[in-house]
Structure 1
Amino acid sequence: MTDLPVSRPGWLYRLFLHWLKRASKGRDGLPLPETLTPDSLAALRRMTGMPSFPQSLSSIQIRRWREIMVPCSGEGRLARLYRPRGRVTGLVLFMHGGGFVHCDLVSHHGICCRLARHSGAMVLSLDYRLAPEAPFPAAVDDGWEALLWLQEQARALDLPLAVCGDSAGGNLAAVLARRARDHGLDRMAAQLLYYPTVSGLLSPPSREIYGQGFMLTARLLEWYGRQYSRCDRDMLDPDLAPVFADNFVGLARAMIVTAGFDPLRGEAELYTSLLRDAGVAVRLVCFDKAIHGFLNFYAALVDGRRALRLGGQFLRRCFHEAAREG
């Protein structure tokens, strides 16, 4: 159960929120376009598609990265493949956040570099189709086809497999982990979810408690939902709202990371409880002074760097155990 805040976010978060409010001319949250047009959508994506840290400097942490085409969506989708230094421990499919509407391979480049470094795994970051041009279930379908392809690579290389994502990407990673169980993907070893949105129309108290003043507002969540879903019924579909799945038994072990001042905190806690009740090994970590999206601030905030390090270490342990069991 989400408690009422007993303090304020960290001072750097407060400084950022103050700047954001001034940049938005007093409005709360991200400055979304009043009317969604091709030009306003392109402007939003340009604004959110910037790297958190210079890509050339982020890339120093790994052996190399390259762009590849992954066979999905008919003709294929662009992806970035990150290879760590040293022995490769596993393969990770990474799904970026951005409300299913924005962000891209560039915005999450540094995150994937650090994840590859700390996990010792090759990380595949997928440029899945975005809403509103490609609404639900397009992103799920792209992720699933990419995961099937990555499963083949994992078998050929005799490596374990994991899914990971932040926010909307955390939603997609959770859905893919369940599909992997349902279809018997034998290489799936772990799921790493950073502040995922998983409850659809179900609204935990955190959406009201933290729904204003902390960047990701209740208004923004509703806006993102309208862009991604085709109708209200979609918001009850387990492929959009994983909490409505029939059962959670046999899912891959999980680590779920939340932020203390995040409207999505409650649904991540609920999902953790559902997994535990089904006997899934799951670890919940809350950064209690943080706001939603803090992973993207890793260059300036220790919380982001620590969350990536903890997540990478979790994946490394899961891969080690999978190799030992297999």
Structure 2
Amino acid sequence: MSRTPFFVRRVLARCSYLLPLSIRRRMIVISTYPLGQEVKSWVHEISKETWKGVWIAPKLKDIRQAEENAPEQDLILLYIHGGGFTEGYSFMYMETFQAVINKLNDEHNIRASIMSLEYSLSPEHKWPTACREAVECYRYLIHDLGISPYKVILAGDSAGGNLVATTLLQLKDMKTRKESDLPPLPLPAGAALLSPWVDLTVQEYPIARDTLTGRLLEIFKAAYVTETRHLQNPLVSPVYGDFSRIQCPIFVAYGSQEILKPSIEMFISKLIKSNCNTTVLRGDENTTHIWLVCSLMASSKTVYQSDCDAFIAWIAATASTK
């Protein structure tokens, strides 16, 4: 946790978005890249024909051991990072990932590994590329490795939360449609959406003390979606999707100062009306975008740890009921 005052960190984050995309991408790597030994012992890259990602777990020698170990784990967390679909990388939240794995093991006796998707970024790769990659990564866990869906929880922040929601919609669609190009995949044990960006049709944004701005969201949107007519597509804006037959538990967290708060609350209302098993964590009056997974965006170490612990407790409870 940085000793820089929270309001200064918030302003710096907002100002960083004024920089060119190539510089922002580099800055994220510089500010979040884990120590060398952590990368060697915790992170193992995997590259398939239709997607890329990393296995994250302690004491793994190589990708072969990661794959052999995965089916024996009690839980696999399939994580999808945020970054407005344009930036970020698969293991930029190592502090949180390590906390999740260690606390699940030490406090809940749950052995867990994380598969973090390295999806193709915009504007180089437009929608629906990332949507498809998320489903293919899940397919790899279930079909290729033979992991029970009852052991898999999907999770993602911001744009990654969007991709978690759209993955649920695609999986539900596979269950109801029988086309040969849509082999059935069961729903996961649960799904967690952290500060999710669920409505890309929004053009007017509330005044909030957030790290995000409306102007920035419009830039992200233009980079991700080629034609505005697609913005209401549920696989772009999942707030317009039908979640009525999605039976797995869903966890939604958002900050009180989120610029995305109105659309997230609308999404939560839709989940509840659809009779989804929904757990909501609303941060305190100072919480902003993605504070739960990025401690630099939290108002204090105490707030970050407390809310991260609540997230981990939900994961443990969801895993234990399957």
Same fold (TM over 0.5): yes
Bigger RCO (CA 8 Å, 6+ sep): 1
2:131 is aligned to 140
1:319 is aligned to 319
> CA shift at 1:282, angstroms?
0.5
User: Which range is displaced more, 214-223 or 183-192?
Assistant: 183-192
Distance 1:277 1:68, change over 3 A: same
2:181 is aligned to none
CA distance in structure 1 between the aligned counterparts of 2:119 and 2:59, rounded to whole angstroms = 23
1:112 is aligned to 97
Q: Aligned AA for 1:49?
A: V
Q: Tell whether the 8 Å contact from 1:194 to 1:256 is kept in structure 2 after alignment.
A: yes
Q: Tell whether the 8 Å contact from 2:172 to 2:187 is kept in structure 1 after alignment.
A: no
Matches within 5 A, 1:33-182: 33=19, 40-52=20-32, 54-55=34-35, 65-73=42-50, 76-82=51-57, 88-119=73-104, 120=110, 121-152=112-143, 155-156=146-147, 160-182=151-173
CA distances 1:75-120 after superposition (whole Å, capped 9, x unpaired):
x4242332599x8321121000111111112422222222223344
CA distance in structure 1 between the aligned counterparts of 2:27 and 2:250, rounded to whole angstroms = 32
Q: Tell whether the 8 Å contact from 1:99 to 1:224 is kept in structure 2 after alignment.
A: yes
Q: Tell whether the 8 Å contact from 2:169 to 2:242 is kept in structure 1 after alignment.
A: no
> CA shift at 1:56, angstroms?
5.8
TM-score, scaled to structure 1 = 0.79
1:293 is aligned, of 273, 290, 293, to 290
CA distance in structure 2 between the aligned counterparts of 1:157 and 1:178, rounded to whole angstroms = 19
> CA shift at 1:316, angstroms?
1.5
1:4 is aligned to none
TM-score, scaled to structure 2 = 0.80
User: Which range is displaced more, 256-265 or 297-306?
Assistant: 297-306
CA distance in structure 1 between the aligned counterparts of 2:145 and 2:278, rounded to whole angstroms = 23
Question: Which ranges of structure 2 fall in alignment gaps of 5 or more residues?
Answer: 61-71, 105-109, 176-184
User: Which range is displaced more, 123-132 or 151-160?
Assistant: 151-160
CA distance in structure 1 between the aligned counterparts of 2:256 and 2:37, rounded to whole angstroms = 30
CA distances 1:49-83 after superposition (whole Å, capped 9, x unpaired):
235474468789xxx5231324352xx42423325
Distance 1:231 1:254, change over 3 A: same
Identical aligned pairs, as a percentage?
21
Aligned length: 290
CA distance in structure 1 between the aligned counterparts of 2:99 and 2:131, rounded to whole angstroms = 25
CA distance in structure 2 between the aligned counterparts of 1:161 and 1:95, rounded to whole angstroms = 13
Q: Tell whether the 8 Å contact from 1:89 to 1:159 is kept in structure 2 after alignment.
A: no
Matches within 5 A, 1:190-209: 190-202=190-202, 207-209=205-207
Q: Tell whether the 8 Å contact from 2:91 to 2:116 is kept in structure 1 after alignment.
A: no
1:36 is aligned to none
Q: Aligned AA for 1:32?
A: L
1:219 aligns with 2:204: no
CA distance in structure 2 between the aligned counterparts of 1:47 and 1:257, rounded to whole angstroms = 26
Q: Tell whether the 8 Å contact from 1:89 to 1:160 is kept in structure 2 after alignment.
A: yes
Question: Which ranges of structure 1 fall in alignment gaps of 5 or more residues?
Answer: 1-10, 22-27, 34-39
1:17 is aligned, of 5, 10, 21, to 10
Find the residue that maps to 1:236 and give its secondary structure.
Answer: coil
Q: Tell whether the 8 Å contact from 1:84 to 1:122 is kept in structure 2 after alignment.
A: no
> CA shift at 1:129, angstroms?
0.3
2:16 is aligned to 30
CA distances 1:159-204 after superposition (whole Å, capped 9, x unpaired):
521110011111111111222233243351100111000011046x
